[in-house]
Structure 1
């Protein structure tokens, strides 16, 4: 068992971390939500938007472990966690399903644009009445000559207000349940696509989200992923990528917060000495390190299993649960350790907490992860 990184892997991580920090320093004061295309192109230039997409389609062709390491660097170096999340949703929930299940023509048409940052993708799965249970989608599609006609509404579509293309899942055979869903790639400009206004959220401000409604929207057969009825398995496959690699960005956030806390408790003095000397403080920081390192090992193992082509349902559920719950608790600890200063916006500690909260909700809630873990254990 080898826990070391190769020189190439370590070099890639350090270069990306330095480049991300440099980009953020040069664009300091600019809001990604307002200048999204510029920031999106910056991510593309760094290779992030196509990390695990095959080289032939404009990507880097990295495996899950190396891709996760890249997003770890991105999350650590970029204070705009919403931008990191939006890039991850674009890649893992949209580009990768197209790369793995799209037709050759569809891959050739879309993937180079998605990797180059010329197009933004939005994942349209969640519905007002279908969040954790995605086997009961109300959105429908009926067969017509040459394609399908979609009708229904999707909520909380990440990147929705700025997306050029949507990957959506709708019911095509209601009586078939899980095997009655089909995955479609829909252009924003297609007649019948209506994108709502940006949603006001607690955090992840730099990832715009909106509802998307399909009203008698025609989608040609060439934009079906896999075969009709394979939407459920395709979605679960994409969740394997997302639950492992997307949350590497949150590992980076946990590292960044831990660094800020460590510097703060060493410098902040109370009763004539650094507060790091107080056991109540040092033990809280130790717990932050424990949660982060434990989650890191679980995430790396999940990505390693994906790269080996092995079943990784249990590993990704454990990883997602550990990272999301860990970063949420650590961000709250950081606010406590910074005190009133942590409640202010200057140091970005309160932003880290707000950005950490949704991590226990999206990609399957923490309770859904526990349910998956219990099922994998045969309970």
Structure 2
């Protein structure tokens, strides 16, 4: 077994981390608004948005493991976790399925802009009554001459209020369950597509999210991904990338929190001693390190299985569960290590906690991951 990185991989990580820190030198302050187009273009220049996309469209053609390392470096170097999350969702839930299942003309038209950051994409899958159960979508795609007519509403569309293009899923044949779901790509300016106002959220505040409604929205047939009825398989393919590679941003966040806690525990003094000398503090930091390294190994293994051409449902579910629950526990620990300062916005510790909470919900809740795990082990 090989646990090291080659020279090129180490150099790529260091370069991405350095460029990210230079591009986003300070944490977003109180009242920070949504990300800007300028922020998005910076991520394109850094290479995050096109990391796993084909080189012929401006990407780097990296595999899942190397892509995860890029996302991890950006998550560590940029304190605006909402921005990094939005970029990862754009890449894995939208650009990846277009690259893998879109027609030649669709790939040519969209992928260069998605890789460079000139376009922003939103994944419109979740519905008010269909979150984890993606086989019962109320949004309907009715076949007509030349394509489909979409009707329905999607909720919690990350990047939705800012997106130029949407990857969405709709039911074509209600009797076929998941085999009746079809994936489509819809431009923002398509007549009948209505973008709702941004939600007010607990965390990830810089990433706008909202509802998207389709009212007699015509989508040409060349915008279908993989053919009619292939939507469920395409969605699961993108979820593999998302649950593995997207969550690498939380490894980067944990690295940053750990660095902050160690520095604070060395400098902060109470009762005439550095607080790092108290076991109540040092052991809490040790647990943060343990969670980070355990989750990191699981995530790398999940990505390795994808690169081997045999993505492991079990490995990906274990990875997603370990990373999301681990960052939530470690962010709460960081607040405690910082004490009163951790409750204030100045150091960004409380923001990390708020940003960690949704990780246990999106891309399949922790409960869904546990169900996948026990199914895979034969229970």
Q: Where does 1:108-257 land on structure 2 (aligned, <5 Å)?
A: 108-257=108-257
CA deviation after TM superposition for structure 1 residue 310, in Å: 1.1
- Contact 2:35/2:206 (CA < 8 Å) preserved in 1? no
User: Normalised by the size of structure 1, how large is the TM-score?
Assistant: 0.98
- Report the secondary structure of 1:228's partner residue: coil
Alignment match, 2:362:
362
- Report the secondary structure of 2:25's partner residue: helix
Superposed CA offset, 1:128-174 (max 9, x none): 00011111110001000000000000000000000000000010000
* In 2, Cα distance between equivalents of 1:118 and 1:352: 28
- Contact 1:31/1:206 (CA < 8 Å) preserved in 2? no
Q: Would you say 1:82 and 2:82 are equivalent positions?
A: yes
* In 2, Cα distance between equivalents of 1:264 and 1:60: 38
Superposed CA offset, 1:201-244 (max 9, x none): 00001110010000000000000000100100100010000000
Aligned length: 379
* In 1, Cα distance between equivalents of 2:89 and 2:352: 19
Superposed CA offset, 1:311-370 (max 9, x none): 311111000000000000000000011111100000000000000000000000000000
Alignment match, 1:284:
284
* In 1, Cα distance between equivalents of 2:13 and 2:30: 25
* In 1, Cα distance between equivalents of 2:278 and 2:27: 38
Q: Structure 1's 264 and 30: CA in aligned 2 closer, same or farther, altered over 3 A?
A: closer
- Report the secondary structure of 2:24's partner residue: helix
* In 2, Cα distance between equivalents of 1:199 and 1:267: 39
Q: Where does 1:269-308 land on structure 2 (aligned, <5 Å)?
A: 269-308=269-308
- Report the secondary structure of 2:194's partner residue: strand
Superposed CA offset, 1:276-311 (max 9, x none): 111111111110000000000000000001001013
Task: Compute the RMSD of aligned alpha carbons.
Answer: 1.3
* In 2, Cα distance between equivalents of 1:276 and 1:363: 36
CA deviation after TM superposition for structure 1 residue 36, in Å: 1.2
User: Normalised by the size of structure 2, how large is the TM-score?
Assistant: 0.98
Q: Would you say 1:353 and 2:353 are equivalent positions?
A: yes
CA deviation after TM superposition for structure 1 residue 47, in Å: 1.0
- What are the ranges of 5 or more consecutive residues in structure 1 without an aligned counterpart? none
- Report the secondary structure of 2:49's partner residue: helix
- Report the secondary structure of 2:355's partner residue: helix
Q: Structure 1's 45 and 121: CA in aligned 2 closer, same or farther, altered over 3 A?
A: same
CA deviation after TM superposition for structure 1 residue 378, in Å: 1.2
Q: Would you say 1:92 and 2:84 are equivalent positions?
A: no
Superposed CA offset, 1:98-154 (max 9, x none): 000001111111100111111100000000000111111100010000000000000
CA deviation after TM superposition for structure 1 residue 35, in Å: 5.1
Alignment match, 1:72:
72
Superposed CA offset, 1:245-276 (max 9, x none): 00000000000001100111111111111111
* In 2, Cα distance between equivalents of 1:30 and 1:118: 28
Q: Structure 1's 133 and 144: CA in aligned 2 closer, same or farther, altered over 3 A?
A: same
Alignment match, 1:372:
372
- What are the ranges of 5 or more consecutive residues in structure 2 without an aligned counterpart? none
